[in-house]
Structures are given as structure tokens and as C-alpha cells.
Amino acid sequence: MPPQRIEVVLQHNVQDLWQAYRHSTDAVVQRRIQFIAFLAEGKSREEAMKLTRYSLHSALKCMKLYNESGLSGLRDRRTENKGAPRLLDEDQTQMLISAIKEGYREGTLWDGRAVQEWVKNNFGLDIYPGRAYEYLKGAGFSQKRPRSVHICGDEKAKEEFKGNADGAAPQSGASP
């Protein structure tokens, strides 16, 4: 597919572009202004892309933004993204934390699946396991569990191992 031909419609002179470049404190904005300034100086799009290390996609996007809104169109909008809304509101989160703490006092171990089920049963919402563990962490709990004990563990062998001064396990078949 041949590269698209978008021409920049200059709304500022070269001096104004370089002045805006020098006064900008945002590196993303500076780079976009620099790209447009190179084009305003008469450099080819390919040359300006090489100097700013822009890909074709980024260059076309920058040119489109400038054509549509001038210098204000080149601002970095990522800081305006507030992210997705919270899944549980403050009251629901407090209810969940209370349920987790109450279950802990009763001896119930909560894990991600238990949190998922509780949220589904009480609020009708599906949450991912990672989010469930974030709620557990927010309640002051971690994923730590007691170490498992082997059913066939030999207590005498364990005590013998603990009592060995150098920490090495006794050799089987070796005489003391």
C-alpha cells in the first residue's frame, strides 16, 4: 500500500513554530512541533521523519492533528485520560472489605475466587481474578497461606534434621 499523501496546511510561520518548540515543556509536544517546523522549513516528509525518528503512522497523525487544530492539536492528550470507571463504588468496596474481615475473624480464608463469587452474589458483577486480589490487598490481606504439611511426614526425621549442627540431612545408610 503506497503511503498516503497528506499535505500540511501551515497556520504558523517557521519562527513561531520554533518559538513554540522552545517554550514547550512537554517532550511529546516538542517533538510534534519540531516535525511540523521541519516541514515548514521545506524539508520533505521523509527527511522530517528521519530527523524526528517518526514512523509513517506517527507522522501522518501529527500532520492531521496540526491541519485540524493548529498547535493546540499537537498537545499530548494522554494526561486527559482518566481511565475506566471504578467497578465497585466506595460503599460497595467497604461492604466487601467488611465481609472479608468478618470472614477472617470467623476463620475463613479468602482468595480471589471467593472474592469474585461474593461480588457476583451480592452485586451481580463479574470481576477478573487480578481485580479480586487487588480488593484483598486493599483490605489489608495478602495471598500468603500456611505451608502445607505432607501427610506422610516423619516427625522423628524432621527433629533429627533440625538437631543436626551443620544443617545437612543425615546420609541414609551411614553409621554415626
Is 0.85 surpassed by the pTM of this model?
A: no
One-letter-per-residue 3-state SS of 148-175: CCCCCCCHHHHHHHHHCCCCCCCCCCCC
Return the half-sphere exposure (C-beta side, CA atoms, 13 A cut-off) of residue 152.
0
Round to whole Å and give the CA distance between 129 and 152.
33
* 33 Cβ contact partners less than 8 Å away, ≥ 6 residues apart: 17, 20, 21, 24, 71, 74
Round to whole Å and give the CA distance between 58 and 68.
15
DSSP state, residue 12: S
| Enclosing H/E stretch for 133 | helix 129-138
pLDDT tens string 8-65: 899 999 999 999 999 999 999 999 999 999 999 999 999 999 999 999 999 999 999 9
Q: How far is CA 161 from the centre of its chain?
A: 45
In the predicted model, is pLDDT for residue 170 greater than 60? no
C-beta atoms surrounding 145 within 10 Å = 8
Whole-number percent of the chain with pLDDT over 70: 88
